[in-house]
Structure 1
Amino acid sequence: MSASSIETLEMRIAYQDATIEQLSDLVYAQSREIDRLNARYEQLESRMGALAESEGGDVPNLDETPPHY
């Protein structure tokens, strides 16, 4: 293998390492955002339940299709 080929391979590996690091950072940031959104969802779900209880009604099932569908 020539020196030029080895240098080319080393450059490719360096770029791949940088790309892997960027992707890793992105996955970590997305994981934190998903955790934050899940916590917010649970807060909102809890508040809806508390509001429904204070009004004396049942907690609405948001997964149910409305009757007009």
Structure 2
Amino acid sequence: MSADTASAEVERRLIDLETRLAFQEHALLELSDALATSRDEETRTTLLLHRALEELRQLRMAMSSGGPLGNDAASEPPPPHY
């Protein structure tokens, strides 16, 4: 193998490696963006869950304390037709 042939082979391999590296960097950026999006969605979902749980807790407290939502049928006056 001559020096020119060896040099051309090394250059071809170097170009191939640089191309692969560029594709891998692009793939890593896409994965990083997808992970960031997923984390944002998880944060929003967690916040919504906490809000829903707090509303449920408040409703349960209102029902157990006999508040406006917690009146049971026995404590209400009879309907007008009685």
Report the TM-score when normalising by structure 1. 0.79
Corresponding residue for residue 37 of structure 2: 29
CA RMSD of aligned residues (A): 1.2
Q: Which amino acid aligns with 1:29?
A: T
Q: Which runs of 4+ in 1 moved over 4 A?
A: none
Q: Which amino acid aligns with 1:32?
A: D
The number of equivalent residue pairs is 57
Q: Distance in 2 between matches of 1:39 and 1:50?
A: 17
Corresponding residue for residue 72 of structure 2: none
For the pair shown, which has the larger CA radius of gyration, 1 or 2?
Answer: 2
Q: Which amino acid aligns with 2:34?
A: L
Unmatched runs of 5 consecutive residues or more in structure 1: 58-69
Q: Secondary structure at the match of 2:57?
A: helix
Corresponding residue for residue 8 of structure 1: 16
The CA deviation at 1:2 is: 1.1
Q: Distance in 1 between matches of 2:59 and 2:41?
A: 27
Task: Kindly indicate whether structure 1 or structure 2 has the higher relative contact order, using CA contacts under 8 Å at least 6 residues apart.
Answer: 1
Unmatched runs of 5 consecutive residues or more in structure 2: 1-8, 66-82
